[in-house]
Structure 1
Amino acid sequence: MKKTRKSFADLPPIRVRREPPTVIEAVTAAQDLSDDLEQQVEIAAGLIGLAPDEVRPHVLAALRAKPERVPERIFSQAGPSRAPRTVIVERRTRPPVIVERRGRPLDPRR
């Protein structure tokens, strides 16, 4: 007995739940997008949907609590006084993830 095929018209509509970001999430996103304090207030207020005056105390509190970012490690090698200095920037990357698919082996006759 064959199963009947369901079409997308037979399925109920997909319901999407919309949750605005919390104040902490909006302030964190604003800090990552801009270094200017006023722009951070505007970005966070726009994400939450509040007035900038309501968000400003949260941005100021997060500014004091946020530690400085550690930049990439920069090494400099000093040479003779007239020679240009060599600067080496190290970036750490993660190795690529390799996903091995296991399924039926390929038919050698094809």
Structure 2
Amino acid sequence: MTSASPAVKKSKKSFADLPPIRVRREPPTIVEAVIAAQDLSDDLEQQIEIAAGLIGLPADEVRPHVVAAVKAKPERMPERIIAQAGPSRAPRTVIVERRTRPPVIVERRGRPLDPRR
């Protein structure tokens, strides 16, 4: 029979022993910055400032891209849901309610509690 080797204690590594963490920094592309600026603001001048700040370029270089994106982006229509009722086509009122579920009770499966308590 072979005997088991004795337990070997692992040495603890400290953070000083580890190499430094390298973070890769990639600025967004012009398209990404313009899209982000459009989502953050509706004002054209603010969009130009936001996009220029994200990319790190002067506002004069970013301005043509933002203006072109505004022309290409159609205005969004507000979303409305109208339920049509019967032949008269009169709008009905639709009520949306959120129901909450009762909390789930998880029963512990282990040793029973000490009856002396």
Give the alignment's TM-score, normalised by structure 2. Answer: 0.61
Amino acid at match of 2:17: D
Secondary structure of 1:28 counterpart: helix
Partner of 1:27: 34
The CA deviation at 1:8 is 1.4
CA spacing shift, 1:68–1:50, aligned 2, 3 Å? same
Partner of 2:24: 17
Matched, 1:47 2:54: yes
Gaps of 5+ in 2: 1-7, 85-91, 97-107, 113-117
Give the alignment's TM-score, normalised by structure 1. Answer: 0.64
Partner of 1:65: 72
- CA separation in 2, counterparts of 1:109 and 1:76? 56
Which stretch shifts more, 64-73 or 4-13?
A: 64-73
Partner of 2:14: 7
The CA deviation at 1:107 is 7.1
Partner of 1:108: 110
Contact 1:27 1:58 survives alignment (8 Å): yes
Gaps of 5+ in 1: 78-85, 91-105
The percentage of aligned residue pairs carrying the same residue is 72
- CA separation in 2, counterparts of 1:89 and 1:56? 45
**Counterparts of 1:88-103 in structure 2 under 5 Å?**
none
The CA deviation at 1:50 is 0.9
- What is the total number of aligned residue pairs between the two structures? 88
Contact 1:23 1:44 survives alignment (8 Å): yes
Q: Pick the structure with greater CA Rg.
A: 2
CA spacing shift, 1:89–1:57, aligned 2, 3 Å? farther
Compute the RMSD of aligned alpha carbons: 3.0
Contact 1:72 1:89 survives alignment (8 Å): no
